Amino acid sequence: MPALTLDYRHCDRKRPRFIKHSEVEAIALMARQQLVASTIDALSLALLRDVTRLKINGVAFDLVVDTQNTVHDEGGNPVLGICEYDPGVPDTAMVSVSPVGEGAGDELVLSTLAHEIGHAVFDSPGWIVDASRGPGLFDAIDDGARKVYRTTTRDGDHLAKSTSAIDGVAPAARTEEYFAELRANEFMGSLLVPRQRLYAAIEELAPENDVKIVRGPSLDPDYPGVGLTLQTEGDFGFFYLETLKRAVAKRFNVTPRFAGVRMERYGLLKQAGSIS
């Protein structure tokens, strides 16, 4: 069964420390390299479902994945997925994703699972360390229900949050939870549609769909060198671009909107919509 060993900058509580989106992208690439050959484009649901062990920043724990049962939040409402850690089941993170069915195709389930694994990578080590330390000297000791650490993915809009949204969010709203969701989404996107594999696919698919590739200096300081942008002409330009998104989506087993978000993220497009 696949296992992932990853490291990133963290504090003494094993929580991520000032990690940029480019670093999350690199971590996702390291994870992908441990799962498939570099020539593979699409990851399968079965492959991610079989990840059973993580070692993150030296913290080793099991990963239990369930994609067979509908997931509900604390209020009993159906949701796409959750990632949680129960101290009563030590050294084990649990990821649950609602199965393929009405309103949730294979692509959305795959995206949700990749997102939840992102939470397991970036959040579970801190949960495990926090739980192992127990209450502090002046903390009240509660003999009641133990604390369960959990993140919840409610719907497809949840998966559309991106690092580009930070400037439009008030500082007071930029909570630890907010950044945790951004990290999980960036991990998801970079894992399923990595930059270099997308570039290679665009080189092949853009000419086939009457979309022009324009090369010029990269505008991303984290990725200097030559950048690619896409250009269409004529009255059917939008149609050609949408056809290209569908071709890319099919190549990577994601939705066309997901493909558009990654194309925007890597500078190929100026803007894209939700990925749900």
Radius of gyration of the chain (CA): 20
| Spans of all domains in the chain | 3-192, 195-265
Assign 273 a pLDDT band (cuts: 50, 70, 90).
Answer: very low
* pLDDT exceeds 70 at position 170: no
Over the chain, what is the mean pLDDT?
88
Assign 110 a pLDDT band (cuts: 50, 70, 90).
Answer: very high
221 vs 22, 135, 226, CA distance in Å? Answer: 10, 44, 11
Residues in CB range of 20: below 8 A, 6 or more apart: 222
Assign 37 a pLDDT band (cuts: 50, 70, 90).
Answer: very high
Which of 43, 40, 38, 28 is closest to 253 using CA atoms? 43
Instruction: Report helix, strand and coil shares of the chain as percent, to nearest 5.
Output: 40, 20, 40
87 vs 84, 117, 118, 134, 250, CA distance in Å? Answer: 10, 19, 20, 10, 40
Percent of the chain residues past pLDDT 70, beyond the cut = 87
* pLDDT exceeds 60 at position 20: yes
Residue 158, strand partner residues: none
Separation between Cα atoms, residue 126 and residue 2, nearest integer Å: 22
* pLDDT exceeds 60 at position 160: yes
Q: Which two tokens stand for residue 87?
A: 């101290």
Q: Which two tokens stand for residue 265?
A: 């993220």
Output the pLDDT for position 164: 55
Assign 266 a pLDDT band (cuts: 50, 70, 90).
Answer: very high
Global pTM value:
0.89
Assign 52 a pLDDT band (cuts: 50, 70, 90).
Answer: very high
Q: Which two tokens stand for residue 116?
A: 């939840």
Separation between Cα atoms, residue 195 and residue 20, nearest integer Å: 16
Between 260 and 235, where is the model more confident? 260
Average pLDDT over every residue of 89-94: 95
Output the pLDDT for position 173: 56
